[in-house]
Structure 1
Amino acid sequence: MSKYDFTGRVALITGSSSGIGAATAILLAKMGAQVVITGRNVNKLENVVKQCAEVSPTGLKAVPVVADVTKEADLDRLLATTVQSFGKLDILVNNVGYWQLCPITSDDYMQHFSHIMSTNLLSAVYLTHKSVDYLIKTKGSGLNMSAYAMTKSALDMFTKCLAVELGPKGIRVNSLNPGAVYTDAMQNSFGMTEAEGRDLFDKFAADYPVGRVGEGVDVANAVAYLASNEGSFITGTNFVIDGGHIAANINVKGV
């Protein structure tokens, strides 16, 4: 039996064709939610749809939307599909994230900077802006995935500002700060093979106080708690799920 009950609630999760986003969609589906998932890879999305249906108590099928979050028209279509399908939105999880190592001395630095800003920050700001009216109606919850570098730090402050502004309207907004969580997407963003990615994360695990790196479900569990009725007194926080990364002052230089 699931710890939290999301029966009748609708959750929209960006970047949910793999990794943390997929784990979150599957867990919320297991807890009874109707989930809308999005990504750019049709096959990966269909795989998540299948897993959500398998764990859903009533066999609910996730709604997949192929979209590029850097395009406002795609975000509009994503939200419209959600509302047209279910008539409401209860939980918005701005999970999508992109990592690119690029020194400021690089000739194409601004190109990378613009893409990262559009993916990690602007998509969350735009989708939240468009979703607010629906979240007000359901007294819903917004969650922003924030983990690394300037764009994600900006999400933390955006979260705090929204919590203050939207709290009187019945909306709670929190951000989640994961430590090292092994996913295929993270491995690929580093340009590594699976073996190289595992080796890197094994090194993290050796230094982590809990003795391991995170899995997608670790973060998904935190999302579920913050979005649940049990988390109703929590808003404007940066919820750290890092296995002791910060406490141990672990250095990721050179990754």
Structure 2
Amino acid sequence: MDTTAEAKVVLITGSSSGIGAETARLFAKRQFKVAITGSNRERVEQVANECTQLSPSKFQALAIVADLSDLDNAERLVKQTVDHFGRLDVLVNNVGVHHKTNAADKSSFRLYQNTFAINVDSVIKTTMEAVPHLEKSGGNIVFVSSTASVKPAANAYAYRMSKAALSSYAKCLAIDIAPKVRVNIVSPGPVATPLFDKAGISRESLQAKARATNLLGRPGEVEEIASAIYYLASDEASYFCGAELFVDGGSLCKPIQ
């Protein structure tokens, strides 16, 4: 077990790329001990090494390779984090997948099941495993949802349903475990990450969509989302609980043209 004294510990799911990786780097810079998780060993170890180098105290980041479509791994990654660092102060539920799914196409049902297995089931399981440790430390949880949770769209029913379920679960959880543990949500608008690449959404398409649909006329950057996540997890946000912070460039309030 790492016995370096009393730095806080953060576990970030889905932290081998995109928003999760940038969030891990930011926590490392702010003197947290960081647990990195993902299913790709090379990327997990790369981000863990980056976090170790970015840590002012050179805290060694923990690399955990875990495919969260297998729910047994949710229990394992929490246990491994606590066994290694001796505590858990912050859980960032960032893991997620995005498949193109047509709501009338029965062939999409398996993709729907996979989406919910990772975006919802694994998150709930990880959270339930983490809560006793967070109650002990007086910690908090940040869920990474999406503006997709409140905006329907074509060929995206599985992802959007999963994010609506995630946000609803997070708010119910806040009621059930406050004041021992704070629970909040960051819901980004479109951000240029590998998640969109895997869903077949090009960077050019993302840029065009942002210009048309939000007030700032551009997609978000991973650094902007990571900053919001860190803020909600920090003591500066100590009166935030059950809140959903939309970091979307103004897309939800842009008037219909």
The one-letter code sitting in structure 2 at the alignment partner of 1:180 is P
- The residue number in structure 2 matching 1:246 is 252
CA distance in 2, matches of 1:89, 1:206: 40
Percentage identity across paired residues of the two chains: 37
Cα shift at 1:250: 7.7
- The residue number in structure 2 matching 1:202 is 207
The one-letter code sitting in structure 1 at the alignment partner of 2:127 is T
Large movers: runs of 4+ above 3 Å = none
Which consecutive unaligned segments of at least 5 residues does structure 2 have?
Answer: 1-5, 149-159
CA distance in 1, matches of 2:77, 2:248: 30
Residue 165 of structure 2 corresponds to residue 159 of structure 1: no
Change (3 A) 1:100 1:249: farther
- The residue number in structure 2 matching 1:178 is 188
The one-letter code sitting in structure 2 at the alignment partner of 1:160 is K
- The residue number in structure 2 matching 1:234 is 240
- The residue number in structure 2 matching 1:125 is 124
CA distance in 2, matches of 1:95, 1:33: 17
Task: Tell me the alpha carbon deviations over residues 42-63 of structure 1, each in whole angstroms, 9 at most, x when there is no partner.
Answer: 1111221122122111112211
Cα shift at 1:249: 5.3
Aligned 8 A contact 1:92 1:143 in 2: yes
Residue 56 of structure 2 corresponds to residue 57 of structure 1: yes
For residue 87 of structure 2, give the secondary structure of its aligned residue in structure 1.
coil
Aligned 8 A contact 1:155 1:175 in 2: no
Task: Tell me the alpha carbon deviations over residues 133-187 of structure 1, each in whole angstroms, 9 at most, x when there is no partner.
Answer: 100000110111111311111111111111111113x200011110011012321
Moved more, 49-58 or 172-181: 49-58
- The residue number in structure 2 matching 1:9 is 8
- The residue number in structure 2 matching 1:140 is 139
**Length, aligned pairs only:** 239
Question: TM-score scaled to structure 2, two decimals?
Answer: 0.88
CA distance in 2, matches of 1:154, 1:215: 25
Question: TM-score scaled to structure 1, two decimals?
Answer: 0.89
CA distance in 1, matches of 2:88, 2:210: 37
Aligned 8 A contact 2:98 2:198 in 1: no
The one-letter code sitting in structure 2 at the alignment partner of 1:42 is R
- The residue number in structure 2 matching 1:82 is 81
CA distance in 2, matches of 1:63, 1:186: 27
CA distance in 1, matches of 2:245, 2:187: 6
Residue 222 of structure 2 corresponds to residue 220 of structure 1: no
